[in-house]
Amino acid sequence: MSIEGATTGGATIGGVAIDWLHFTPWTALAGGALIGLAAGLFVVLNGRIAGISGLLGSVLEGGEGRAEKALFLLGLLLAPLLWGLFAELPAIEFQSGWLGLVVAGLLVGLGTRYGSGCTSGHGVCGISRLSPRSLVATLGFMASGFATVFVLRHLFGG
């Protein structure tokens, strides 16, 4: 997508070319802090882990605490509408066609359920409570995410 040099400004760190044009440190940190705040509130007040794949899975399967879990997901679902009252929605750009989306969705659904979590449950909540399982899971999905993009963009892609 991006042209080498034009977006990197030529600066590299450890051999990795940083995309300074798209780097948004402040909104990333502030957005992350809000995510952490929400996860903190959910565990302190409701006694639950804000892991989205786990919440989706248990709402699908039924069982304990279904209403509360569904309401967290409803809040998540309504967030862009709340956002839209105050500001324009940020950019949402997709780079895959229908087949990629279907395959990706299936893998994400299946993988997060087998792996007991995703970016939120393992990556944020799990690492925050220093869980070795979550650390291993996060390293695992990050590594395969990096590898997948490398294969699709640099081995097969143009």
Partner 1 sequence: MGKLTAMLAGLIFGCGLLLSGMANPAKVLGFLDLAGAWDPSLLLVMVGAIAVAAAPLAWAKRRTQSLLGAPMQLPVKRELDPRLIGGSLLFGIGWGIAGICPGPAVAILLSGHWQVILFVLAMLAGMLLFSALERRRAL
Least spacing, CB of residue 9 vs partner 1, in Å: 10
Which one of 85, 89, 156, 158 is in contact with partner 1 (CB under 8 A)?
A: 89
Least spacing, CB of residue 74 vs partner 1, in Å: 6
Q: Are 127 and 51 in contact (CB under 8 A)?
A: no
Least spacing, CB of residue 86 vs partner 1, in Å: 10
By CB under 8 A, the count of residues binding partner 1 is 118
Sign of the CA dihedral 59, 93, 126, 46?
negative
Which one of 22, 63, 85, 158 is in contact with partner 1 (CB under 8 A)?
A: 22
Residues 6+ apart with CB under 8 A from 120: 35, 39, 50, 51, 52, 53
Which one of 10, 63, 81, 158 is in contact with partner 1 (CB under 8 A)?
A: 81
Least spacing, CB of residue 57 vs partner 1, in Å: 5
Which parts of 33-62 interact with partner 1 (CB under 8 A)? 33-50, 52-53, 56-57, 60-61
Residue 76 contacts partner 1 per CB under 8 A: yes
Residue 102 contacts partner 1 per CB under 8 A: yes
Which one of 63, 85, 91, 158 is in contact with partner 1 (CB under 8 A)?
A: 91
Which parts of 117-156 interact with partner 1 (CB under 8 A)? 118-120, 122-129, 131-133, 136-138, 140-150, 152-154
Lookup: tokens for 92: 């949402």
Q: Are 49 and 125 in contact (CB under 8 A)?
A: yes
Compute the distance between CA of residue 123 and CA of residue 44 in angstroms, rounded to an integer: 19
Cα–Cα–Cα angle for 30, 153, 134, rounded to 5 degrees:
45
Q: Are 72 and 52 in contact (CB under 8 A)?
A: no
